[in-house]
Copies of this chain bind each other. A is one copy, B any other.
Amino acid sequence: MKSNKITVSQIAKTTGLSPATISRVMNHPELVKQETLESVQTAMLNLGYDFQKATVLPVQKKKIIILNVPDTENIFYDEIIKGAKTSAHAHGCHILVNECPIESGTIKEFCDLIKCIDVAGVILLNQVETTLLEQIHAIAPLIQCCEYNKSSNYPYVSIDDIDAAEKATNHLLSCGRNKIAFVNGPLSFKYAIERREGFLSAMNTADTFVPKNWMIQLPKVNYDMAYAAISRILNEETIPNAFFMSSDIFAMALVRAAHHFHLKVPKDIMVVGFDDISFSSIISPTLTTIAQPSFQLGYSACEMLIEIILNPSSTPKSLLLGTNLIIRESTSIQAP
C-alpha cells in the first residue's frame, strides 16, 4: 500500500543525508548529484512513497505562513528563516516574516493581520502568554519555535538551554578559569532563565563562587548595553578571568571592551558566546560559542506546522534539538 505520510526526517534517517539535502533533492533535483538523487528516490520508494501524488498543498488551500519574530535585527534569526523557507517551499507555501512582540497591546493587530491574509499557519519565535496563544490558535494553527510557553500545551521545537549553558561553563572551568562572570538577556525569555540556571548549576557543582555584580541582567540583546556593563566590571580592581555570554553579541562587546582596557582575549580573559552567528568566526579572536541548530529549528517548526495544516487533528510531538560547543580562539590556550 502506498502512502504519502512519510516525512523528510524519515527519509533523512534512512539515507543518512541531512533534512536540508533531502529538501534540496525535492526542490531542485537538477542541482544534486545523480547518486544522491537515486539514493533519496530509492529510500522514498522503500518507505512507500507514491511519486504520483504530490506533498504540496492543494491549489485551493491557504498557502501563506507567517513567521513572527521579536526583532529582525538579531541575525541569529536568519538561519531559522532559511530553514522554515526550505520546508515551506517544499510544500508549495510561502513564508512571510512579521516583526513584532506579541503581548496584550499588540495581539489585536496581530490577529487582524493573520485574519486579513487568511494564513495557513503561524510560527512564533516570541514568548507568548497562554491566553494570547489561544486567541491566535482560534484563527490559525501555530507552532512555537525557540521560545515556548511552558504552561501551554501548544507544540514547540527548541533547544535544552540548561544543558547548553552547563557545557559552556564547564568548558571555561576546564580551561582553568574560576572567576567567571555571566551576561544575560531579559528573564522574560525562557532562554535567559534556563541559561542562567545552567550557568549557576555548573558553578555550584564546581563549588565556585560568583559575586553578585558579575551576574549581569540586560533589558535586551544589545551590544552597547553589554559594552557598558562589561566596562564597569573590567574597571574594578578584581576582575573576572572569563565570561559566559548568553549571546554572541555580548561576547563581541567583551572582546572590544577588553581591548579598551588593554586586556588580551583569551590570555587575560576567556569568553564563550551563544548562537554561533556568522560573525563569531569572522572577528579576531574568533569566538568559542554554543552553536544552535538554527536551520533545523526553522525547518522542523515549519514541518510540524505543515503536519497540522494537512491534518488538523494531529498533535506533533514537541522537540528539543541538540547544541554544540564550538571551540575557537577566544578560549584557546595557545592563541596569541
Contact = CB atoms under 8 A, between A and B. Distances in A.
A315 interface: no
Contact of A64 (B72, B82, B117): B117
A259 B97 CA distance: 38
A85 interface: yes
A116 interface: yes
Interface stretch (A17-25, A73-81, A127-135): A73-81
B63 A116 contact: yes
Contact of A73 (B78, B96, B109): B78
Interface in A68-109: 72-73, 75, 78, 81-82, 85, 94, 96-99, 109
Interface residues of A, number: 30
Nearest to A109: B94
5 contacts: A64-B116, A72-B78, A81-B99, A85-B99, A284-B284
Contacts of A253: 282
Q: Report, nearest first, the 10 A-B pairs whose CB atoms are least far apart.
A: A96-B96, A97-B97, A73-B78, A259-B284, A283-B283, A94-B113, A252-B282, A75-B75, A117-B117, A72-B78
Interface of A: 63-64, 66, 72-73, 75, 78, 81-82, 85, 94, 96-99, 109, 113, 116-117, 223, 252-253, 255-256, 259, 278-279, 282-284
B223 A278 contact: yes
Nearest to A73: B78
Given A97-B72, A113-B94, A117-B117, A282 B81 contact: no
Nearest to A98: B96
Contacts of A66: 96
Contacts of A223: 278, 282
Given A72-B97, A252-B279, 12 more contacts: A64-B116, A72-B81, A73-B75, A73-B82, A96-B96, A96-B97, A223-B282, A252-B283, A253-B282, A256-B283, A256-B284, A259-B284
A255 B279 contact: no
Which of A113, A252, A284 is most buried by chain B, counting CB atoms within 10 A of its CB?
Answer: A284
A184 B75 CA distance: 23
A97 B116 CA distance: 16
Nearest to A75: B75
